């Protein structure tokens, strides 16, 4: 049976636990710090497409990890961000960078009112939106040149994928670039793809930390039904290096980009 990718995206979004704005801000801060410690090939690619006459829309800007470097090159940047904690951090970072070409709009993307821009970027801000088609079509309506989506890409043959297949009968534990690419294709969007060249492996100091990580990703914190399967799989597939448990899974993102059709609706 052919996969309904938009339906799968929706199911995975709705299956995820609700998360408060403060928790999202905490997670984003940790993620942004880790990302700032290594090169960002995807951002660098976008920056090469921008000059002093380019207007940029940053959907789900967070605390400005992409907003700030984009604004240093572009004519203007409009940053849309729903979280008040993130917006406070964003304003502090804008002030620290001494930039005056950024407009901040505190709103969800679904409710945001903005002007058309040459380029729209959205880095990891679509995971809470169950209707991916509507999310993307709105991006297209406000983009005159290029749409860019940065989305996490799980590794082929990862432990979480293996466990998800055994437990849920699908490789995907959460929304990701594979699902997004196919979902876009199903609505007539033929996206280009750029994948980061390196994967930064997950590591845990103890086996129990790795076990807890697996249960969190599989949304099984309150269940013990699959504990034996999870432990057995981890015991077989994790490797030990410098007293750390190293996963074949890790952090990698893909950039999907395309030029919107002028008749998109």
The answer to whether the beta carbons of residues 66 and 36 sit under 8 Å apart is no
Average pLDDT over residues 131-147: 98
Q: Within a domain: residue 206? A: no
Interval 137-149 mean pLDDT: 98
Of 2-16, 22-36, 97-111, 216-230, the least confident:
22-36
* CATH number, position 22: 3.40.50.150
- Give a yes or no: residue 226 inside a domain: no
Q: How far apart are the first and last CA of the chain?
A: 29
Q: Is 223 contained in some domain?
A: no
Tokens 């901040």, residue located:
104
Question: What is the value of pTM for the model shown?
Answer: 0.90
Residue numbers of the domain that contains 29: 5-158+169-201+251-258
Provide the phi-psi class of 152: left if phi over 0, else alpha when psi is between -120 and 50, else beta.
beta
pLDDT in tens, 192-233: 999 999 889 999 999 999 999 999 999 999 999 999 999 999
Residue 225 located in a structural domain = no
Q: Which residue has the higher pLDDT, 200 or 28?
A: 200
Mean pLDDT of 8-31: 68
pLDDT score, position 214: 97
- Summarised one tens digit per residue, pLDDT across range 165-178 is 999 999 999 999 99
What's the number of domains the chain is made of? 1
Q: Answer whether residue 263 is part of any domain.
A: no
On average, the pLDDT of the chain sits at: 92
Q: Is residue 219 part of a domain?
A: no
Decide: 139 and 120 in contact? Cβ < 8 Å: yes
Is 143 a member of any domain?
yes
Q: Is the pLDDT of residue 60 over 90?
A: yes
Determine the Cα–Cα distance for residues 43 and 49; give it in Å rounded to an integer.
Answer: 10
């Amino acid at each position: 049976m052919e996969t309904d990718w938009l339906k799968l995206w929706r199911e995975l979004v709705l299956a995820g636990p609700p998360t408060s704005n403060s928790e999202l801000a905490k997670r984003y801060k940790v993620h942004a710090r880790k990302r700032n410690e290594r090169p960002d090939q995807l951002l660098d690619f976008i920056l090469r497409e921008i000059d002093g006459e380019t207007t940029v829309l940053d959907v789900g800007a967070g605390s400005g990890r992409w907003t700030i470097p984009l604004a240093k090159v572009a004519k203007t940047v409009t940053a849309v961000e729903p979280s008040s904690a993130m917006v406070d951090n964003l304003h502090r970072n804008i002030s620290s960078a001494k930039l005056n070409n950024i407009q901040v709009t505190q709103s969800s993307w679904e409710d945001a009112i903005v002007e058309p821009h040459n380029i729209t970027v959205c880095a990891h801000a679509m995971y809470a939106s169950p209707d991916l088609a509507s999310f993307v079509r709105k991006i297209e309506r406000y983009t005159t040149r290029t749409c860019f989506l940065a989305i996490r890409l799980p590794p082929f043959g990862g432990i979480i994928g293996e466990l998800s297949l055994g437990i849920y009968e699908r490789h995907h534990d959460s929304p990701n670039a594979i699902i997004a690419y196919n979902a876009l294709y199903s609505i007539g969007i033929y996206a280009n793809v750029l994948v980061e060249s390196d994967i930064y492996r997950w590591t845990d100091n103890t086996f129990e930390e790795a076990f807890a990580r697996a249960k969190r990703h599989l949304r099984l914190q309150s269940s013990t039904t699959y504990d034996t399967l999870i432990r057995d799989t981890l015991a077989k597939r994790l490797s030990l290096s410098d007293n750390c448990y190293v996963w074949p899974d890790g952090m990698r993102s893909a950039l999907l980009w395309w030029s919107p059709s002028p008749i998109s609706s």
